[in-house]
Amino acid sequence: MIVVAIFGVLAAIAIPSFVGYVRRAKGSEATGNLKSLFVAAAAYYQDERTGRGSDAATTSACTVGTDATILQPSSAKMKFEPTTNQAALGFSISDYVYFSYQIESQGSQCGWSAETLDLYYLRAWGDLDNDGVMSMFEIGVGSDDSNLLYHSRGFYIENEGE
């Protein structure tokens, strides 16, 4: 009886910790994919700004516009389908994902001056336990005095473990 009671106490302590670890592990998907989305945005920005991109003749779009989220986040993994703007950046994910990814932009244009803050907000939305409360990870993207893209030092996170 005592052994069973000890196992019960240990399970009562370990199971909530385990659930928290699993949610944090799922959240690492968002941070990794947002970094990849930033790299794609920075490459697109540089190529278009210097005239090497697809709009090389007109350099009309160093940034892409805001996109709508396609996937409805849930606790189950979903096949990633890039939005038009994500595809234009060359961003894709070959694996199934827990999060939906979004680009919020100041607009699809070129001619940003150096040190333009907030060119993009890159976000990941997810409902890791299917309770209707969303986890959100976000990084801000701007340009520095050399007119190169940079991202915020860390992620802004809401309801990480929800």
pLDDT tens readout for residues 102-147: 998 877 666 666 555 678 899 999 888 888 888 899 999 888 777 7
The C-alpha R_g of the chain, in whole angstroms, comes to 20
Token readout for 158 is 């809401």
**Residue given tokens 């969303």 in the structure block:** 134
pLDDT tens readout for residues 5-38: 999 998 888 888 887 787 778 888 999 999 999 9
Number of domains in the chain: 1
Q: Provide the residue type at 118 as one letter.
A: D
Token readout for 53 is 């991109």
Show the domain range for 145.
Answer: 2-158
pLDDT tens readout for residues 64-96: 888 876 667 777 888 888 888 898 888 989 889
pLDDT tens readout for residues 46-69: 887 776 555 444 445 678 888 876
